[in-house]
């Protein structure tokens, strides 16, 4: 149970704008792991689901916004592996592709006000406090077990100087940083939230301040969930010249960030960059 059928392939990005200043860029296609438990969400859930089994939990309860890729992944994985799933969803009741998929896999959704959502533990305790069958999973699946799963993204990888990923909670970056340090690579995160310098501290805490990483804070393009015309155009030109779909919330911002940094001469000649495609394509489908 819960093993990946294959290690996702690494592909070169053969575009002139990613091949200048003596730099080369490759992309690890974690998005190909599964259509809906895609990218880092599978990596993040792997050990959490194992723990749920070991503790004989039958019902997984989590939290997220109305566009949460984590909830889609959890709903699908729950159905596949025989767990009941429920989620507290932030904000007023809405219908969209993300939540429609969650419901299709049998996830029970409960919409809660932004104010109530801020107090997650209280919410959980009020609804499930006495229920020993239930395992609470934090927003975005964040945490130490999730970080351990993300460290495995680099298991088979060698020969790169840098590994790059988009940053939401920073859990994926923390996992990559652990493996990158062992392999002599630099781990760089591209934060997709505005004014979110505090996330670097969350990452440091997960890593017990022992492992180096770097986080860029310039490439949020308007802020979390915002996508201007430039981002959408970039997604379209990237897709039409490589065949690879990026999502507007995370991966397109990372790739644009990398492209900008190469343009600016940030990476030394000879750098070999591995960008992680963390999936998230439900977000792209949700916007039309
Ligand atoms: C959730 C998500 C991220 C963010 O991962 P964190 O571990 O929370 O930083 C990045 N990319 C995609 C596509 C995601 O769905």
Most informative mutation of 177, 278, 282, 285 for ligand 1 (most atoms within 8 A of CB)? 278
Q: Are 173 and 203 in contact (CB under 8 A)?
A: yes
CA 277 to chain centre: 9
pLDDT digits (tens, 9 = 90+) for 208-255: 989 999 999 999 999 999 998 999 999 999 999 999 999 999 999 999
Q: What is the DSSP letter of 8?
A: P
Gyration radius of the chain over CA positions: 19
The span from the CA of 209 to the CA of 204, in Å, is 5
| CA–centroid distance, residue 168 to ligand 1 (Å) | 5
Q: Are 187 and 206 in contact (CB under 8 A)?
A: no
| CA–centroid distance, residue 4 to ligand 1 (Å) | 19
The span from the CA of 277 to the CA of 288, in Å, is 21
Q: Are 28 and 274 in contact (CB under 8 A)?
A: yes
Cβ-proximal residues to 197 (8 Å cutoff; 6+ apart), any chain: 217
With bands split at pLDDT 50, 70 and 90, how would you rate the model's confidence at 1?
Answer: low
| DSSP E strand stretches across 53-133 | 59-64, 84-90, 108-112
209: left (phi over 0), alpha (psi -120 to 50) or beta: left
pLDDT digits (tens, 9 = 90+) for 162-201: 999 999 999 999 999 999 999 999 999 999 999 999 999 9
Report residues whose beta carbon is within 6 angstroms of any ligand 1 atom. 39-41, 69-70, 140, 166-172, 247, 250-251, 278-280
Name the burial class of residue 152, with classes exposed (0-12), middle (13-18) and buried (19+) by CB atoms within 10 angstroms of its CB.
middle
Cβ-proximal residues to 125 (8 Å cutoff; 6+ apart), any chain: none
pLDDT digits (tens, 9 = 90+) for 21-35: 999 999 999 999 999
């Amino acid at each position: 149970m819960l093993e990946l059928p294959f290690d996702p392939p690494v592909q070169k990005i053969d575009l002139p704008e990613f091949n200048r200043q003596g730099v080369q860029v490759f992309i690890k296609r974690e998005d190909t792991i599964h259509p809906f438990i895609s990218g880092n969400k599978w990596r993040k859930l792997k050990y959490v689901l194992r723990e749920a089994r070991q503790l004989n939990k039958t019902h997984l309860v989590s939290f997220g916004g109305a566009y949460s890729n984590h909830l889609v992944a959890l709903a699908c994985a729950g159905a596949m592996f025989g767990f009941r799933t429920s989620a507290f969803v932030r904000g007023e009741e809405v219908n969209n592709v993300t939540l429609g998929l969650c419901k299709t896999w049998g996830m029970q959704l409960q919409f809660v006000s932004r104010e109530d959502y801020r107090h997650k533990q209280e919410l959980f305790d009020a609804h499930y406090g006495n229920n020993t069958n239930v395992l609470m999973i934090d927003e975005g699946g964040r945490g130490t077990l999730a970080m351990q799963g993300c460290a495995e993204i680099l298991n088979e990888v060698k020969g790169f100087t840098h590994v790059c990923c988009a940053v939401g909670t920073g859990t994926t970056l923390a996992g990559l940083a652990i493996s990158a340090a062992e392999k002599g690579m630099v781990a760089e995160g591209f934060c997709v939230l505005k004014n979110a310098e505090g996330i670097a501290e969350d990452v440091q805490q997960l890593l017990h301040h022992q492992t180096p990483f770097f986080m860029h804070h310039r490439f949020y393009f308007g802020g979390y969930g915002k996508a201007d015309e430039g981002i959408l155009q970039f997604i379209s030109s990237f897709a039409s010249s490589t065949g690879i779909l990026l999502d507007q919330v995370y991966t397109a911002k990372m790739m644009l960030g990398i492209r900008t940094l190469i343009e600016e001469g940030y990476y030394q000649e000879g750098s070999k960059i591995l960008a992680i495609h963390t999936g998230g394509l439900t977000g792209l489908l949700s916007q039309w």
